[in-house]
Structure 1
Amino acid sequence: MVYKSKFDDIDIPRCNVLSYLFPPGDSLSTKPLLVDAKSPLKTLSTDDLLSWVRRFALGLDRMGVPLNTAVMLFTPNHLYVPVAYLGAAGSKRYYTGANPNYSVDELAFQISMVRPAILLVHPSLFKTGYAALKKANLPSTRTFLFDDEKCDQRQGVPDWKTFLASAEDAVSWSWDNLGPIATEQIATINFSSGTTGLPKGVCITHYNLVANALQTTHVKLHETPRPQDTKKERWLSFLPLYHAFSQQFTINIASRLGATVYIMQAFKFEEFLYYIQKYKITTLQAVPPVMNMLAKRPESAYYDLSSLKNIMVGAAPMPLSLSNELIQRFNFCIARGWGMTETTCVGMLEPDNVRSFDGHSGYLLPNTEAKTVDDDGQEVEGAPGELWIRGPQTMLGYWNNEKATRDSSTQDGWVKTGDIVVVKDHKWWIVDRKKELIKVNGLQVAPAELEALLLQHEKISDAVVVGIEVNGNEYPRAYVVMRSDIGPDGLTEMEVQKYVAESTAKHKHLRGGVKFEQSIPRLQSGKIMRKKIKEWAKRDAKFFTSSRSKL
């Protein structure tokens, strides 16, 4: 059975993302649109943003940067990342961002994949960026220092502003509206998280970006046209701008809605709380680990968070108990969403200003279809199955990886998400990732279910569950972080195992044991680095005995 969105289809223009954000004939606002949260006198209005985008794009043209080549950023967040994003994509180049926490080898891998014509590297990351370029055999003359302050030349690498056109010259620069080719013209190459394998470059077109922005705002605003009150919204952007989630909301959706966005260079919890209080932030896009901090860390009580009205949570599963606790404590609305890099950003969403207490991940966006499929590729109904999704927001394919594209999508447009879901009354629940299910004596165990249960324990602040192989059998194993205010003897392995056993069937018991950790490794997007956790489990399996596995 093919499930269709409960929302009516909407019209989606085939155009350059710049045509969507800056429609011809619209007057450009001089109200601050992007604000440096640390230094609020640093701002860009819509008018400023377009001027800088034009200067950037014309500068690329004058340097002879070929069309359909990549402009890569290796930087923390700052005000001018949106300039590079829109300047590259809008001029028919590709924007691609790299995680600022990458090592030389990790960055060199991504550079080798996309072979960027330009690398913009933040001064604080110059050593890593320069070494990665050498490792990937790309000349350093393609590199510029990239910051919101003037950069002194380093090892012959100049400041990025040296290639910009003047504001006067840039007024005459215009972009190609694209029209029908917007469905084929790549705008961004965002890399999949690589939590279970090597990252893959996901090719997102201008049509994908425009479609997903329109679909998302349609649901966010309860199917109403763009209302004036969105211009009164104040957002705090702390998610990394190399990631699709932050790009789509901080740059594309906020620009279109006219919301003011305060940008943090990097996430620090107390700064995050302070900025919410200082700027009376109304709207957040967040990930479950941040929501978990809000609920469990004592600092949350020290700040006035009453201005918060709506929080959109995505990128990873969030336990229902955590969501309900936050709603009751802070009285804001939580709009759950689901998406992936391969769906541009969002595939499902709840509207703003709605309080739901059943833990679903939202409704299919307009113009979107989905179905659930078993391991044999057969459609299933009324039972968990892998989510396949199709719509104008689904990717063009993987960059230079035809095999991965064939493996993850069908010729008629379905993207195989790898997520196990159930659906009822247009609502979708994410059960777990297909690759992460644990098989215990032939029965499936969803790690997300056990993780949600563990997070309900009053002494546990974070947890992850993976399978561990002991004597040829697989069992669930938990890695647990205790709350900071709990002493080292405040919780034992046996207590955690007993806690889970009291609430679950026998095959879900933590027979693979429990290990206490200082932290759970996560990406900046909030996703657990399961590949690393599985390495822990593989290491720990060597120390198990057959008797231990019978706990």
Structure 2
Amino acid sequence: MPFPSPFPTLDIPKCNLLDYLFPQGAVPSDTPIWIDSKDTDQHLTPRSLLQWSKRLALGLDRIGSKPGEVVMIFTPNHIFVPVAYLGIVGSKRIFSGANPAYTVSEMIHQVANTEAKFILAHPTLIKAAVAAAKGAGLPEGRVYLFSDEPCAPVEGCKDWRDMLPSPAESKTYRFPTLSAHEATTTTATVNYSSGTTGLPKGVEVSHYNLIANLEQTIFMRYLNKPWNAETRPRETWIGFLPLYHAYGQLYTIAMAQKLQIPCFIMKKFEYEEFLRVIQTHKVTHLQVAPPIMVMLSKRPETSKYDLSSVTDILCGAAPLSKELQNEISKKLQCEIVQGWGMTEVTCGAIHVPGGTVDE
């Protein structure tokens, strides 16, 4: 039997994700939102990210990529991954992220399974990307180098910037408008789930799915707090969750833009660097999985850093024991809530309301 939610029905827009995140008529901010955690001079603002995303959309048009086709990324985290995500999705193409740890055979499976037409691959992964493209039957010239810095050609692959029009040419570009029906039926992402047995499985998610999950999650984050999303105190995040995964995409890319929260993106997770970024940039909110909680409990490096800026931790992706939750809550004097989700439900499905005393 169906169980109704105890919470009010939300008014969820049915539109292109880009129109939801960058409403028509609103002027994008020049505040840095996606910031390289090691080199803070390297950053993107909503205005610059939108321009790069439009240039990518036009660039994909130029090289023959069509709406409805999959464009895959194969890269560690960096500040231009949000550009790829939003440029691909906003132009009615389909974003699919591949785990940078994949072997060539695992990459071939995802390329073939999604029928990806183009791959944006980090220079450190280019050999595997080229081999996978060949193994999946892609024609030559379908793999582009994708980094936060311009790259000289490698393995016969050009830099992704080579396909882009000038910033001036992108000024008049508008992402396609989606009707309510199109928003619910147009695939935005195909993320891969480990599932239970066999090879990873692709999960198709629509623009409406993404917007709905954002609205639901934002509502739950502040439900029992003495403020809401508009009146909340300053927040600063750290983006170490992998951006090929739904958890990282929801928070570091989409929600960071929707709520205008600066996010310091780590290219690679290293525990002491993670602590340094929190201390240096006064990070307030963490989105983590239980292994990070274990590190905060057990690793001696934890005591070397001032983590007093942290007010809230959301832990998901696996069960967290009440003993560990209570220990870290007391240790950092912060609120900890848990969430449950899976790739098959876009990202989050159950979220302990923010502001809940959950001991």
- Which band: TM-score by shorter chain? over 0.9
**1:38 Cα deviation from its structure 2 partner:** 1.0
Determine if the alignment matches structure 1 residue 227 to structure 2 residue 225.
Answer: no
Amino acid at match of 1:236: I
Amino acid at match of 2:17: V
Equivalence for 2:213: 212
Amino acid at match of 1:59: G
Q: Distance in 1 between matches of 2:131 and 2:195?
A: 22
Matches within 5 A, 1:132-143: 132-143=132-143
Determine if the alignment matches structure 1 residue 90 to structure 2 residue 90.
Answer: yes
State whether residues 126 and 155 of structure 2, in contact with CA within 8 Å, keep that contact through their aligned partners in structure 1: no
State whether residues 285 and 311 of structure 1, in contact with CA within 8 Å, keep that contact through their aligned partners in structure 2: yes
TM-score normalised according to structure 1 size: 0.63
Q: Distance in 2 between matches of 1:2 and 1:9?
A: 15
Determine if the alignment matches structure 1 residue 282 to structure 2 residue 299.
Answer: no
Equivalence for 1:31: 31
Change (3 A) 1:41 1:195: farther
Amino acid at match of 1:216: T
Equivalence for 2:78: 78
Matches within 5 A, 1:395-410: none
Paired residues, what number?
Answer: 356
Equivalence for 1:522: none
**1:195 Cα deviation from its structure 2 partner:** 5.6
**1:244 Cα deviation from its structure 2 partner:** 0.3
Q: Secondary structure at the residue paired with 1:204?
A: strand
Q: Distance in 2 between matches of 1:52 and 1:225?
A: 31
Q: Distance in 1 between matches of 2:335 and 2:289?
A: 15
Amino acid at match of 1:199: P
Q: Secondary structure at the residue paired with 1:141?
A: coil
In structure 2, the gaps of 5 or more residues are none
Equivalence for 1:185: 186
TM-score normalised according to structure 2 size: 0.96
Q: Distance in 2 between matches of 1:323 and 1:33?
A: 29
Equivalence for 2:201: 200
RMSD: 1.3
Equivalence for 1:108: 108
Amino acid at match of 1:264: M
Amino acid at match of 1:229: R
Matches within 5 A, 1:249-264: 249-264=251-266
Q: 220-229 vs 153-162, which deviates more? A: 220-229
Q: Distance in 2 between matches of 1:272 and 1:219?
A: 26
Equivalence for 1:9: 9
Q: Distance in 1 between matches of 2:248 and 2:357?
A: 23
Equivalence for 1:306: 308
Determine if the alignment matches structure 1 residue 68 to structure 2 residue 73.
Answer: no
Q: Distance in 1 between matches of 2:27 and 2:87?
A: 20
Whichever of the two has the greater Rg, that structure is: 1
Determine if the alignment matches structure 1 residue 343 to structure 2 residue 348.
Answer: no
Amino acid at match of 1:102: Y
Q: 12-21 vs 189-198, which deviates more? A: 189-198
State whether residues 309 and 353 of structure 1, in contact with CA within 8 Å, keep that contact through their aligned partners in structure 2: no
Q: Distance in 2 between matches of 1:321 and 1:15?
A: 43
Q: Deviations over 1:186-236 (max 9, x none)?
A: 000000024643111000000000110011101112276531436x21100
Q: Distance in 1 between matches of 2:177 and 2:348?
A: 24
Q: Secondary structure at the residue paired with 1:168?
A: helix
State whether residues 286 and 312 of structure 2, in contact with CA within 8 Å, keep that contact through their aligned partners in structure 1: yes
Q: Distance in 1 between matches of 2:65 and 2:105?
A: 26
State whether residues 288 and 317 of structure 1, in contact with CA within 8 Å, keep that contact through their aligned partners in structure 2: yes
Q: Secondary structure at the residue paired with 1:229?
A: coil
Q: Distance in 2 between matches of 1:125 and 1:192?
A: 21
Change (3 A) 1:204 1:18: same
Q: Deviations over 1:378-399 (max 9, x none)?
A: xxxxxxxxxxxxxxxxxxxxxx
Greater share of strand: 1
Equivalence for 1:266: 268
Amino acid at match of 2:103: S
**1:46 Cα deviation from its structure 2 partner:** 0.8
**1:90 Cα deviation from its structure 2 partner:** 0.4
